[in-house]
């Protein structure tokens, strides 16, 4: 306490100056509209800067929650688009259990990803307890990622599109030319579209999408753009190089696609084969 008293005694002149300066400043602001306006504007600028900084800090610590909300919104929009139904309740929470829909989308995060091997796999943080099962398609907002190969209770392994065993039905956008998408194990930025007949008029720059001829992916999911077209040795089919829209070396959030009509379609196909 004595030190505080001594401080005021030692600095009494400076403290008196500050006090008188504040009083004079206050009187000036109160008596002159111009000065009052300038003071208010300056105060608003200062407090605005403080509030903005505080809000940025708040937003930074809530990025995970914001990302979750965006994933939920994207999931609902993709569900509506894949089912081609304008009456789907986009903002309705029970959408996950809406089994009357043909397709449902489940968001997940990639926790492991390989892309430099000949047979690459991806691990996500959702599994059987989250309705994830084998042979479900996996995509990002940019395009196809792969197919679920196995699951545990809380995790799933994805057969990457960069895997020699992966085969995906694909087509040239806005045409009926279908083929099989495979990877030759060379460049992680591109895959090959095979079995497209030579009569098809394919040009560099054409967009390649999923064909919808399987129970895994809906039709029209983006894959990439044609970068090269050559005829195979028999000269009956094109071998098409497709540059992927996805950067397979940098995967974060993905969506797993569930086809609720899958078993019904497979049962019907089995009956036809018999």
Q: What's the DSSP call for residue 259? A: E
Q: In angstroms, rounded to a whole number, what is the distance separating the alpha carbons of residues 70 and 59?
A: 14
CA distance 33 to 80: 58
pLDDT, tens digit (0-9, with 9 covering 90-100), for 21-65:
777 666 665 665 555 555 455 544 444 455 445 555 555 555 666
* Contact criterion met (CB below 8 Å) for 228 and 241: yes
Do the first three CATH levels of 81-164+250-263 and 168-244 match, i.e. the same topology?
Answer: yes
90-114: string of b/e by CB count within 10 Å (b at 16+)?
eeeeebbeeeebbbbbbbbebeebb
DSSP 250: S
Given a cut of 90, whether residue 100 has pLDDT beyond it is no
How high is the mean pLDDT of the chain? 79
DSSP string, 146-212: EEEEEE-SS-EEEEEEEETT--EEEEETTS--EEEEE--SS-TTEEEEEEEETTS---TT-EEEE-S
Q: Is the pTM higher than 0.75?
A: no
* pLDDT at residue 19, rounded to an integer: 77
Question: In the chain, where are the structural domains located?
Answer: 2-60, 81-164+250-263, 168-244
d(CA 193, CA 178): 9
Fold of 81-164+250-263: Thrombin, subunit H (2.40.10)
Query: For the packed helices 2-10 and 12-31, what is the interaxial angle rounded to 10 degrees?
Result: 70
Q: Which helix (H) or strand (E) holds 2?
A: helix 2-10
What's the N-to-C CA distance of the chain in angstroms?
98
- Condensed to tens digits (0 to 9), the pLDDT of residues 219-273 reads 999 999 999 999 887 778 888 999 999 999 999 889 999 999 888 888 887 776 6
Architecture of domain 168-244: Beta Barrel (2.40)
CA 40 from centre of chain: 44
The reported pLDDT for the residue numbered 212 is 87
Place of tokens 């460049």: 187
Among 169, 148, 163, 122, smallest CA distance to 258 is for 148
216 is written with which tokens? 């895994």
Using the predicted structure, report yes or no on whether residue 170 has a pLDDT greater than 90: yes
């Amino acid at each position: 306490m004595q030190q505080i008293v001594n401080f005021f005694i030692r600095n009494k002149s400076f403290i008196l100056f500050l006090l008188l300066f504040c009083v004079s400043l206050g009187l000036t602001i109160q008596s002159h509209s111009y000065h009052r306006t300038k003071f208010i504007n300056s105060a608003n600028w200062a407090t605005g800067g403080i509030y903005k900084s505080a809000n940025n800090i708040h937003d930074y610590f809530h990025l995970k929650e914001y990302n979750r909300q965006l994933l939920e919104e994207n999931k609902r929009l993709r569900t509506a688009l894949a089912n081609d139904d304008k009456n789907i309740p986009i903002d309705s929470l029970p959408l996950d259990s809406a089994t009357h829909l043909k397709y449902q989308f489940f968001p997940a995060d990639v926790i492991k990803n390989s892309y430099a091997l000949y047979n690459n796999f991806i691990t996500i943080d959702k599994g059987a307890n989250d309705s994830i099962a084998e042979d479900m398609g996996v995509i990002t907002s940019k395009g196809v990622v792969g197919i679920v190969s196995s699951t545990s209770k809380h995790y799933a392994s994805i057969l990457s599109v960069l895997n020699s065993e992966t085969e995906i039905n694909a087509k040239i956008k806005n045409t009926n030319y279908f083929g099989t998408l495979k990877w030759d194990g060379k460049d992680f930025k591109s895959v090959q579209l095979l079995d497209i007949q030579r009569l098809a008029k394919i040009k560099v720059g054409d967009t390649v999408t999923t064909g919808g001829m399987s129970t895994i992916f809906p039709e029209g999911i983006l894959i990439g753009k044609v970068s090269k077209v050559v005829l195979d040795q028999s000269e009956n089919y094109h071998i098409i190089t497709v540059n992927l829209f996805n950067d397979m070396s940098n995967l974060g959030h993905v969506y797993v696609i569930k086809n609720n009509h899958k078993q019904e379609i497979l049962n019907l196909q089995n009956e036809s084969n018999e």
